[in-house]
A and B are shown apart, each in its own frame.
Chain A
Amino acid sequence: MAKILVIDDEEQLRDLLKQMLTRDGHEVVTAFDGVEGMRAFNQSHPDLVITDIIMPNKDGIEVITELLCRKPNLAIIAISGGRRAITAEFNLESAELLGVKGILSKPFTRDQLREAVNQALGL
């Protein structure tokens, strides 16, 4: 189907996403923060990037900005659960304004993930 890069600092969620997407037939590459995510993007050239917003080293906002500057039509889905004073809504609204194709607020269901992925890939 498609090659998908998952960037999230939460290992459990990262593995869960990989499992769900692999089960749907996608090829999945993972990274634990923005820096590793950009490196993985340069190596694997994925069709879709699913990225968390709040991450160490390089956050999702930076990743989205850099990716869209390099590839304006790249399909990106932003996921966020918020942290303390920074709400998930704020993060996802910010990502939407930057131009991502889909947003998912943690926690989300498998159907919501599949729908967002299909919509972002135009399937």
Chain B
Amino acid sequence: MVAKSKNILNFQNGAGRILLISTSLMLVLIGCAVFFSFYLETGSSSYREVLFLGLAMVIALSSQWFLLKTIQTPQILSPEERVHATNEKLRHILNSITRQVESALGIKNTAVGNIEHPADILAATLIQCVATMSEQVKTLLSALQMGSNETLEEARQSFIPLIDKTAEAITQYLNISQNIDSQLRERINETQQLLLNLRSELANVTQRQAQQKESSDLSMSIRQMCSIIETHLQIDNSVDTQLQVVAHDTNESAMMLITLMRDLSDEARELVSYISSSMSNIRSMEGGVDDNVAFIVRIGRFIQEIPIKIQADIQSVQGASGVIDGLGYLVDSIKEISFQTDILAVNAAIQAAHAGEAGLGFKIVADEVRKLAVNSNKAAEMIEAGLETARHTIQHGLKFKFLDEIMVQMDEAAHVSEAVKKLEESHEDMRQYYKTLFTVINRNNTKLANDISEILGSIQYQDVVRQRIERIQVAMQRRNELLQQFAMELENSKGNIVDDFAEQMNIVLNNYIEEESHHNNSLNPNAAEDQPPKFELF
């Protein structure tokens, strides 16, 4: 109903205009009828005036019918229907369908071309007639007011052809209106037919849409499958990206390891060479130090033996002196024996003299005994002198030997001082040498420790790689499980598995990305993306 009225209004712009004109004309004709009824009451009548009145009534009724039809149409519509009629979606559909039908059948051009053109001409004629009639009516009214019969007669004479002309125009208008009406009916019928066709077409379209919906469902499923495949690809891309990172990191780590190991080898080789040459120098210095130490030990031992030697010498000298002293006692005894023997010899000689010749032999013995005593005394004196000489010689010799010992000791002491000085120098050299050695070794050990630490870090990086691969494996395993499940359910055709599968697949992807991101953030919270990941020590 709404579509129908809309279509009528759409291609009846000229008819609407006619309705307005006819309404105005109706009012004029009613005035004229009133005028002529007044005139007829005055006694004059004619066939034309009656016909004119009948035409005016017909026109008035027709106009009223059109007017009521046009006005009542929208009044029938309830507000819900208006709302419904103005529903955007339906209007859009109907408009689009209407445009398609109009463009296809050419209704608009033919209808507008057939209806508007003569109606416009007729309307213009009617307007002109009505305007003229209006002027004539004014003239008649003024003539009546003035009460001039001549003027009234002139006005009536001039008004009659105009009425004739207007009646002719109205007749043409009625004919044309009838034509228009018939054409409108035809068009309405055509429109109704078109609407029926349109409805059937719409039904077909609806059916096709239903078919297309099934097809669309299939397309939807295909799109969802494409989305799933896209998700697959995203997972694969994510995994591939991580694998590339892993491969790059592993390669970098391996290259770093090789470089560090090469540096470490060079440093170790230099250090070994340095330590080897240092050991040679140390052995040389140790040989010098050993010589000095042996010399010092020999000197010490000698110094320790000096008092013993001196004590032994003193004891020897004291023993020799005691022996000499003992020999002195013997010399004294010999001297006393010699003295007593001499006294005895003297007494024997005295007694021999007293004995006379009998004592001559005894006197000779006494003399010999006396000579022996004298000789014994001389021998004792000689022994005493010899012992004195010996004592003097011992004491003198001991004195000179001790001085020699002192000189030797002084000489040895001088050697000891020199040796100690050499030993101090050797010790200073050794201290300096070992200090340098330990400084260099310590610094190189520090470098080696740092290099080894970096190597350990690089080796531990392998564990980061392992963790990444494990996360990838978890995601891939989950995806494969879902794929297997999806394949089974697809085979069994259970429900709408595509949506569930896509959702679960997205969960797998999001979980993997989130875990990887979380892990990267935990490794390096402030790092930029292009920066290499840090080692994770554990």
Interface of A toward B, CB cutoff 8 Å:
53-54, 59, 61-62, 65, 83-87, 89-91, 93-94, 97-98
Which of B429, B439, B440 is within 8 Å of A85, CB to CB? B429
- Apart from A84-B426, A85-B288, 15 more pairs, CB < 8 Å: A59-B432, A61-B436, A61-B439, A62-B439, A83-B429, A83-B432, A85-B284, A85-B426, A85-B433, A90-B281, A90-B436, A94-B436, A94-B439, A97-B274, A98-B439
B433 and A90 within 8 A (CB): yes
CA A54 to CA B425, docked complex, whole Å: 14
CA A48 to CA B288, docked complex, whole Å: 38
User: Is B8's CB within 8 Å of the partner chain A?
Assistant: no
User: Is B4's CB within 8 Å of the partner chain A?
Assistant: no
User: Is B28's CB within 8 Å of the partner chain A?
Assistant: no
User: Is B100's CB within 8 Å of the partner chain A?
Assistant: no
Q: Find residues 54-92 in chain B having any chain A CB closer than 8 Å to their own CB.
A: none
* Secondary structure type dominating chain A contacts: helix
Please judge, given known A-B contacts A85-B284, A85-B288, whether A97 and B433 are in contact too, CB under 8 Å: no
Which one of A62, A85, A87, A98 has the greatest number of beta carbons of chain B within 10 Å? A85
Going nearest first, the 6 A-B pairs with the smallest beta carbon separation are A85-B429, A85-B285, A94-B440, A61-B436, A97-B440, A94-B436
Provide the B407-438 mask, 1 if CB < 8 A to any CB of A, else 0. 00000000000000000011001101101110
Residues of A within 8 A of B372 (CB): none
A85 and B281 within 8 A (CB): yes
Which of B271, B440, B444 is within 8 Å of A61, CB to CB? B440
A98 and B288 within 8 A (CB): no
Q: Nearest B residue to A69 by beta-carbon distance?
A: B443
Residues of B within 8 A of A65 (CB): 439, 443
| Minimum CB–CB distance for B537 against chain A, Å | 25
> What are 28 contact pairs spanning A and B, CB under 8 A?
A53-B436, A54-B432, A59-B435, A61-B435, A61-B439, A61-B440, A62-B439, A65-B443, A83-B429, A83-B432, A84-B426, A84-B429, A85-B285, A85-B429, A85-B433, A86-B281, A86-B429, A86-B433, A90-B278, A90-B281, A90-B433, A90-B436, A91-B436, A93-B274, A94-B439, A97-B270, A97-B271, A98-B440
User: Is B277's CB within 8 Å of the partner chain A?
Assistant: yes
* Secondary structure type dominating chain B contacts: helix
CA A86 to CA B443, docked complex, whole Å: 20
Residues of A within 8 A of B437 (CB): 94
CA A58 to CA B286, docked complex, whole Å: 25
Residues of A within 8 A of B439 (CB): 61-62, 65, 94, 98
Which one of A59, A83, A93 has the greatest number of beta carbons of chain B within 10 Å? A93
| Minimum CB–CB distance for B241 against chain A, Å | 38
| Minimum CB–CB distance for A50 against chain B, Å | 18
CA A59 to CA B285, docked complex, whole Å: 20
CA A91 to CA B285, docked complex, whole Å: 15
Which one of B288, B433, B436, B440 has the greatest number of beta carbons of chain A within 10 Å? B436
B interface residues, tally (CB under 8 Å): 22
Q: Find residues 250-289 in chain B having any chain A CB closer than 8 Å to their own CB.
A: 270-271, 274, 277-278, 281, 284-285, 288
Residues of A within 8 A of B430 (CB): 85
Residues of B within 8 A of A91 (CB): 436
| Minimum CB–CB distance for B272 against chain A, Å | 12
CA A83 to CA B426, docked complex, whole Å: 11
Residues of A within 8 A of B274 (CB): 93-94, 97
| Minimum CB–CB distance for B419 against chain A, Å | 15
CA A91 to CA B432, docked complex, whole Å: 10
Residues of B within 8 A of A89 (CB): 277
Q: Nearest A residue to B288 by beta-carbon distance?
A: A85
CA A91 to CA B435, docked complex, whole Å: 11
CA A61 to CA B426, docked complex, whole Å: 19
| Minimum CB–CB distance for B451 against chain A, Å | 14
| Minimum CB–CB distance for B158 against chain A, Å | 125
CA A115 to CA B58, docked complex, whole Å: 131
| Minimum CB–CB distance for A4 against chain B, Å | 24
CA A97 to CA B14, docked complex, whole Å: 111
CA A65 to CA B444, docked complex, whole Å: 11
Q: Nearest B residue to A84 by beta-carbon distance?
A: B429
Q: Nearest B residue to A59 by beta-carbon distance?
A: B432
Q: Find residues 420-471 in chain B having any chain A CB closer than 8 Å to their own CB.
A: 425-426, 429-430, 432-433, 435-437, 439-440, 443-444
Residues of A within 8 A of B426 (CB): 84-85
Residues of B within 8 A of A94 (CB): 274, 436-437, 439-440
Residues of B within 8 A of A93 (CB): 274, 277
CA A53 to CA B432, docked complex, whole Å: 10
CA A97 to CA B435, docked complex, whole Å: 14
Q: Nearest B residue to A54 by beta-carbon distance?
A: B432
CA A92 to CA B474, docked complex, whole Å: 59
Residues of A within 8 A of B440 (CB): 61, 94, 97-98
Residues of B within 8 A of A53 (CB): 436
CA A83 to CA B431, docked complex, whole Å: 13
CA A63 to CA B378, docked complex, whole Å: 92
